[in-house]
Amino acid sequence: MDHFLYRDGELFAEDVPLREIAAQVGTPAYVYSSATLLRHYRLFDEALSSMPHLVCYAVKALSNVAILKLLGDAGAGMDVVSGGEYARAKAAGVPGERIVFSGVGKTREEMRMVLEGGIRQVNLESEPEMLALSEVAAELGVEVPVTVRVNPDVDARTHAKIATGKSENKFGIPIARAREVYAEIAQLPGLKAVGIDVHIGSQLVELAPFEQAYRKVAELTEALRADGHTIERLDLGGGLGIPYTRSNEVPPLPTDYGALIERTVGHLGCEIEIEPGRLVAGNAGILLSSVIYVKSGEGRDFLILDSAMNDLIRPAMYDAWHDIVPLIEPAAGTQSQPYDIVGPICESGDTFARARPMPPLSAGDIVAFRSAGAYGAVMSSEYNSRPLIPEVLVNGDQFAVIRQRPTYEEMIARDSIPEWL
């Protein structure tokens, strides 16, 4: 559930009419709901309440510092995958003890940064990375808590670009090699194994793949303990999917997911970490966009919007569906008509939807893309020299711009012309 609902015939974000935000901030713009973000974080927190746990929000889903502060102040930990995300989490006031560092290719500079700034644990993804971290930690004279991300060879049954738990994917080490790797860690200076990490993919709409993976992690926990290792933490990753449309089947709820975790690994007495991103942020954000033109083509009408694939790349990248709704609620009985909904970018891939049934719309009308909070703004670019669009955070009846729309001058100022030119 979210807090973007029609009231008195128009779409609101919590208690703010979106029309008002569009008028003040302009379109396109991302708008987020504090109440929805907090609600989703708390659903996970409550779902794990029977076990010691930390919900580490996956920063990559939506990484604006104001969002991180909102969640961090509510008690969330953070899962970061780069030095930049670590810097954002710290800038939001999240202490290092609540930040876990994931990612396939951590550089030594990034390792130094988190060891100096404080880190709860580093999730290792390969043996070369393990050796590098050992060297960096030994140089700094510290011992860093680590887990090894194991690849359980489980089919997450999601889009190929976001499946990460099959043996052919680049992530983690094969689970069959785990005992050898933990034995190596025990011999290396600067590293202290504390647990196991697994993350099998994103936008999972069923629990079975999680169950398969977590059972393998439970078995491995027992094997590693028998080998004499201390396994006291299990980082079970993120990946729980969200409904992108109301008509589809509804993915499992955080409560079902929590019950599954308890059933599969609860008996081990470990502290549980999870790293949800999409489910926290996805339905907590919308993308506001105006119709620039309605163009009649051959056998189809195009809605040409002022937002484009550079602002929201999910449809082009993952063939993703987003519900697109007008700010003004259509009167009961309004006949819908099919539109191809596109942006102004010079690529056919800049298409948000084809033959999408919509109420009749005209130039100047405003629409909202639902479920655009996660992997929206964070994946945007300035392709076609379209400046990054603003982000707005709503809280009850107030709202604030949490990222300004840059001017053309600001955008261009990042380039420089060499003296000799």
Ligand X SMILES: *Cc1c(COP(=O)(O)O)cnc(C)c1O
Q: Which residues are catalytic?
A: 346
Edge-first strand order for the sheet with 16-17 is 4-7, 10-13, 16-17
Site residues (CB under 6 A) for ligand X, limited to 241-300: 275-279
User: Does 277 count as an annotated binding residue?
Assistant: yes
Other C-beta atoms within 10 Å of 41: how many?
23
Nearer to ligand X, 25 or 374 (CB): 374
Q: Could you please report the per-residue DSSP string of 19-44?
A: HHHHHHH-SSEEEEEHHHHHHHHHHH
Site residues (CB under 6 A) for ligand X, limited to 144-163: none
Q: Does 2 bind ligand X (CB under 6 A)?
A: no
Site residues (CB under 6 A) for ligand X, limited to 323-382: 374
CA distances from 260 to 155, 253, 373, 403 (A): 18, 11, 26, 38
Q: CB 239 → ligand X: shortest distance, Å?
A: 4
Q: Does 202 bind ligand X (CB under 6 A)?
A: yes
User: Does 276 count as an annotated binding residue?
Assistant: yes
Nearer to ligand X, 61 or 272 (CB): 61
Nearer to ligand X, 191 or 374 (CB): 374
Nearer to ligand X, 48 or 374 (CB): 374
User: Does 383 count as an annotated binding residue?
Assistant: no
Tell me the β-bridge partners of 11: 6
User: Does 116 count as an annotated binding residue?
Assistant: no
Helices 65-73, 83-91: axis angle to 10 degrees equals 60
Residue 412: partners with Cβ closer than 8 Å, 6 or more residues away:
none
State both tokens at 7.
Answer: 């009231």
Q: CB 277 → ligand X: shortest distance, Å?
A: 3
Nearer to ligand X, 278 or 314 (CB): 278
Q: CB 340 → ligand X: shortest distance, Å?
A: 29
CB of 190 within 8 A of CB of 138? yes
Separation CA 177–CA 417 (nearest Å): 51
Of 172, 237, 258, 343, the one binding ligand X (CB under 6 A) is 237
Site residues (CB under 6 A) for ligand X, limited to 39-98: 58, 60-61, 79
Nearer to ligand X, 3 or 60 (CB): 60
CB of 18 within 8 A of CB of 10? yes
User: Does 85 count as an annotated binding residue?
Assistant: no
Separation CA 259–CA 257 (nearest Å): 5
Site residues (CB under 6 A) for ligand X, limited to 210-229: none
Q: CB 306 → ligand X: shortest distance, Å?
A: 27
CA distances from 299 to 338, 339, 348, 361 (A): 10, 10, 17, 17
User: Does 172 count as an annotated binding residue?
Assistant: no
CA atoms within 13 A on the CB side of 94: 35
Q: CB 75 → ligand X: shortest distance, Å?
A: 18
CA distances from 317 to 54, 162, 298, 344 (A): 32, 11, 26, 17
Q: Does 239 bind ligand X (CB under 6 A)?
A: yes
User: Does 275 count as an annotated binding residue?
Assistant: yes
Residue numbers belonging to the annotated binding site: 239, 275-278, 314, 318, 347, 375
Residue numbers belonging to the annotated binding site for pyridoxal 5'-phosphate: 239, 275-278, 375
Judged by the rule CB under 6 A, the positions of this chain that interact with ligand X are 58, 60-61, 79, 102, 199, 202, 237-239, 275-279, 374
